[in-house]
Structure 1
Amino acid sequence: MTAHPTHPNDPAVAAFVAAVNAGDKDAFFAALSDDATLSDDGTDRDLAAWAEREIFSSNGRMHVEDVSVDGRNLTATYTNATWGSMRTRWVFTVTDGRVSRFETGQA
């Protein structure tokens, strides 16, 4: 039985995770397409406001536990100062080498 990878092999997704974990806003938005969208627990959100609240002002971090073969579906323990730690799922759409949409929610 093969162990599941814990590092995304899709370069855009890997850049997204690295930017979140570094708290690097510039790198985060560079990993996204200009018209990127997101859904949190099934509801579309304003990406800039969500990222500020859920990642940057609350020290958000992703500890990736499992990655799909294509590198675009993750299970991670997500931790921030607002909500603490929770198991989350992340599904990424990548267009032209950048994340054009991501969907997250509790796993």
Structure 2
Amino acid sequence: ELFVTPDGLIVNEIAPRVHNSGHWTQAGCAVDQFEQHIRAVAGLPLGDGKRFADVLMENLIGDDIGRVPDLLVAPRTQVHLYGKGEARPGRKMGHLNRIAE
């Protein structure tokens, strides 16, 4: 993540991996960002990354993990949990993707 400010460039994060701002691709694209990343690193042809559905991606932070039972039965919703043992304030526990109607 890079930000251009009046004082110059600010670097927030450099990571050779996919970013959580693109997790929506798991539900909205034929080939999601995770597969595209592996294809690119492995020198394979890239897949069709065009969006076929509008998707809302929401991070599950801290106590949001308590919402999981309701989210699991919500229509058009995928729940992705990261297997972290303890929920703490500000800790990302997972995310959800909800396909728009």
* Structure with max Cα Rg: 2
Global fold match (TM > 0.5): no
| Higher relative contact order, chain-length normalized (CA < 8 Å, sep 6+) | 1
Pairwise TM-score range, normalised by the shorter structure: under 0.3
